[in-house]
Amino acid sequence: MIYMMTPFVSPNHSVLQSIIDVEASIDGVILRLDANDDEIDEFINALKQSIDVSKIIVHNAPHLLDKHQLKCIHFKERIDDALLFKRQHPEISVGMSAHSIQSVRRINGILDYCIFGHVFPTTSKQGLPPQPESVIQEVLNYDIPVIAIGGIDENTIHDLNIKFSGLSGIRLFQHKAVLEHVIKEWLLRNSTSL
């Protein structure tokens, strides 16, 4: 599972083009945008004309999921909201960002995936240490697919635990050549572990 997360910016042509550029390499794109509903609505309409609709994942916006007849939603670490939505909509793929063992434990067996991190030092979380290896090991023992986030690049991919179900990020997806290298390395490491 390779999930792009958009930067938290206003939707614009540059963001749209960055998604189009990497579409063939990703399983989904989480639309984490800084905009009002009308702007996000317009952006989703443009995106639907440009990429496989099944790859569009709305962020914390069930009304936009419904309006655009999408099948995937990602929640912030708001466990009760995510669990309630999944119970009410079992046909929808529901994921959530998680930053603790307790959060992963609560959503295990109910949600479809979680994005967990940060797993490596990253400039977006300056001053915060990455998740300890012991926490990562425990989280990876749950049944829910756990996707890594945070500081993943061409230098750290060799150290990413292969028990993760995939990887995600923001900056990683802004440089197609680096992304392709990271994905190739990830797939190679996972194929040799079988």
Q: What is the pLDDT of residues 150-183, one digit of tens each?
A: 999 999 999 999 999 999 999 999 888 999 999 9
Q: What is the pLDDT of residue 71?
A: 97
Mean pLDDT of 58-72: 96
CATH superfamily of 2-188: Aldolase class I (3.20.20.70)
Tens digit of pLDDT for each residue in 70-81? 999 999 999 999
Tens digit of pLDDT for each residue in 86-125? 999 999 999 999 999 999 999 999 999 999 999 998 888 7
Whole-number Å distance between alpha carbons of 95 and 76: 9
Q: What is the pLDDT of residue 193?
A: 60
